[in-house]
């Protein structure tokens, strides 16, 4: 009997390592809970990738929006200045005429000249610049020819006189210069 118990014990001990292999193999096979957990992890990874992609797209869209609105603000500002300057130019023209026709010894002339210079500095500070045209070749993009004259001492298509000053704002023409142009004789 003792021998039988010993034999059974030794058989159980011999079978135990095999059972451990079976237990290990059964642990390798996923339980329904583990499979569910894996599926959830995969879905979460997919969702995370989708959200990251959506975030990147939204960030790019916002950056484009910011750039577009900044550009629109600048454009609106420039248009506002250009419109204001166009309305101010006749006043500048009148100051020019006044400085040319008054006696320079007169205090009124000196006052008008001071105001005119102050106005020129202001216009220059905001980016308005006069078009230099005297002695330059005629350019229809900058000049408006209102008369012509023949002067053999000057090359053809040269601006002989400026009848009304033209201006540019940020390299865009606000008003063309009215000029007298030399023609071929």
What are the residue ranges spanned by the domains of the chain? 128-185
Q: What is the DSSP letter of 158?
A: B
The fold of the 128-185 domain, in CATH, is: Nucleotide Exchange Factor Grpe; Chain A, domain 2 (2.30.22)
Average pLDDT over residues 4-18: 53
Residue 180: which region, alpha, beta or left (left: phi > 0; alpha: psi -120 to 50)?
beta
Question: Is the pLDDT confidence value at 1 over 60?
Answer: no
Tokens (6 digits) for 109: 């002339």
Residue 152: what pLDDT?
86
Question: Is the pLDDT confidence value at 54 over 60?
Answer: yes
Residue 112: what pLDDT?
85
């Amino acid at each position: 009997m003792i021998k039988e118990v010993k034999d059974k014990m030794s058989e159980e001990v011999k079978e135990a390592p095999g059972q451990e292999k079976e237990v290990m193999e059964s642990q390798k096979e996923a339980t329904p809970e583990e499979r569910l957990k894996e599926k959830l992890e995969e879905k979460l990874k997919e969702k995370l990738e989708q959200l990251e992609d959506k975030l990147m797209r939204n960030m790019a869209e916002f950056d484009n929006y910011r750039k577009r609105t900044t550009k629109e603000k600048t454009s609106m500002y420039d248009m506002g200045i250009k419109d204001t300057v166009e309305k101010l130019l006749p006043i500048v023209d009148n100051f020019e005429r006044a400085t040319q026709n008054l006696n320079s010894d007169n205090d009124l002339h000196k006052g008008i000249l001071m105001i005119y210079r102050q106005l020129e500095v202001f216009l220059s500070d905001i980016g308005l610049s006069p078009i230099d045209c005297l002695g330059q070749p005629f350019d229809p993009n900058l000049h408006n020819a209102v008369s012509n004259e023949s002067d053999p001492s000057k090359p053809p298509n040269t601006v002989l006189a400026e009848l009304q000053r033209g201006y540019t704002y940020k390299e865009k023409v606000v008003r063309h210069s009215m000029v007298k142009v030399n023609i071929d004789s």
